[in-house]
Amino acid sequence: MTLKVVYDTNILVSDALKPGSIPASLVALAMAKQVRLFLSPAILEAYTEVLKRPKFKLDPAAIDRFLRDLVRATTKVRPTQRVITASDEPDNRFLEYAQNARADYLVTGNKRHFPSPTFEGTTIVSPAEFARIVAKHISRQS
């Protein structure tokens, strides 16, 4: 069984800014379809907006290529219910699509923005926690 996951925007930013980091390895897992990453139009828009912020000094063409590849590697969802649980309003979009996708995990570098360690069956974890979970999951399947 493939783990179903949602990545908060900070995972993609860390991937772009820190090649070789844990978040970069998690993005690579999604690109290789070793985990099933879910994406919605609103989340893709959030990823695009944040990655193209001038403060990150990332190449816009490289971002566009990366996001095209990411879209090809993901499963698309369209949330049908609004969620107003997280203290940081944009984080509610991640909860909405984790709920709609019935994701096993929501991976974020900002766990404090989420109201509890689980939401509607989705466990909210840090990148390091998810890396350990994936390693155990893969070793059990071998």
Say which CATH number the domain at 72 has.
3.40.50.1010
Tell me what pLDDT residue 142 has: 66
Alpha carbons 61 and 131: distance in angstroms, whole number: 29
How far CA 117 is from CA of 21, 112, 132, in Å, comes to 23, 9, 17
Which helix (H) or strand (E) element contains residue 104?
Answer: none
Cα–Cα nearest to 25, from 111, 140, 107: 107
91 touches 107 (CB < 8 A): no
Total number of domains in the chain: 1
| Farthest-apart Cα atoms in the chain, separation | 43
Structural domain boundaries enclosing 91: 4-141
Tens place of pLDDT for every residue, the chain, 142 residues?
Answer: 799 999 999 999 999 999 999 999 999 999 999 999 999 888 999 999 999 999 999 999 999 999 999 999 999 988 777 888 887 788 888 898 899 999 999 999 999 888 889 999 999 999 999 999 999 988 787 6
